[in-house]
Amino acid sequence: MKSDSVSDTWVAFPATPFLIEFSYPFPAFTQFFFALTGICYVQAMPMMWRVLHTLENIIEQEGIEMGMSELAELYNLVSHGSHRFLFKHKPGDPHPILKTTKNDTHWKNRFFFVKRDSIPNGNYLPKNCATHGTGMSSKSTSHSSVSDLDAFASSRSGKKRLAASPSVPAPKPVTSKGKGGKKRKTTDTHEGLPLLQHQFEEYVSDVRIPDP
């Protein structure tokens, strides 16, 4: 069977996220992204998993929180043929997270099937590979802004999708550490971006992204 086989009984998982130390259920930010886009896990290219893994580490280790608005400032969502998806950095800007774009040989062939009823909320996972992300523009273009997900999240369709995925909590507003180590809630959704970019630089300079 191919990884994009449709089944009410089985769900396909790529090997990549588990090789870079993800575990299922995936963390909240990652789950929220997939729930909103409707992209199956096997449609995400290795580069996307590395970016999400790095962001989850930053969120956990640095004590900051981020959502789709911050992700949209850094990346576009790109279809790379055969309905496979990855993140592409903004034109003219350097890649925010280094060592995530290496080529993976035969990554499409590394997947496995799990029974839906044997894992948490397995029956809520997509049963069809997305031809374009649900939260993305439906226009005939391979590039879509991740910021479209914000509008989709508040739409009727977005609320319906999240309601069908009760284990997926929406990421909280961006926070940053103020004086004394206390967290300070930002008043603007993009106010924390300079901090995030600074954290990116510090994180990738100190931590090696695991190879799959």
Q: For 22-59, what is each residue's pLDDT tens digit?
A: 999 999 999 999 988 889 999 999 999 999 999 999 99
| pLDDT number for residue 118 | 96
Reference 14, options 61, 60, 68, 52; nearest CA is 52
Residue 11's φ and ψ, nearest 5 degrees, are: -130, 140
Residue partners of 92: CB distance under 8 A and separation at least 6: none
Write the secondary structure of the chain as one string of H (helix), E (strand) and C (coil).
CCCCCCCCCEEEEECHHHHCCCCCCCCHHHHHHHHHHCCCHHHECHHHHHHHHHHHHHHHHHCCECCHHHHHHHEEEEECCCCCEEEEECCCCCCCCCCCCCCCCCHHHCEEEEEHHHCCCHHHCCCCCCCCCCCCCCCCCCEEECCHHHHHHHCHHHHHHHHCCCCCCCCCCCEEECHHHCEEECCCCCCCHHHHHHHHHHHHHHCCCCCC
| pLDDT number for residue 193 | 44
| pLDDT number for residue 164 | 54
State yes or no: pLDDT of 127 exceeds 90: no
- What the block records as the tokens of 104 is 């993976």
Q: What percent of the chain has pLDDT over 90?
A: 32
| pLDDT number for residue 168 | 52
Cα separation, 29 vs 61, in Å, equals 14
| pLDDT number for residue 64 | 84
**What value does the CA radius of gyration of the chain take, rounded to a whole number of Å?**
17
Q: For 7-24, what is each residue's pLDDT tens digit?
A: 899 999 999 999 999 999
Q: What is the mean pLDDT of the segment spanning 123-138?
A: 67
β pairing state of 175-177 and 183-185: antiparallel
Residue partners of 62: CB distance under 8 A and separation at least 6: 199, 203
Q: For 133-172, what is each residue's pLDDT tens digit?
A: 544 433 333 444 454 555 555 555 555 555 555 455 454 4
Q: For 79-114, what is each residue's pLDDT tens digit?
A: 866 788 999 988 888 888 888 888 888 999 999 999
Cα separation, 133 vs 137, in Å, equals 8
State yes or no: pLDDT of 117 exceeds 60: yes
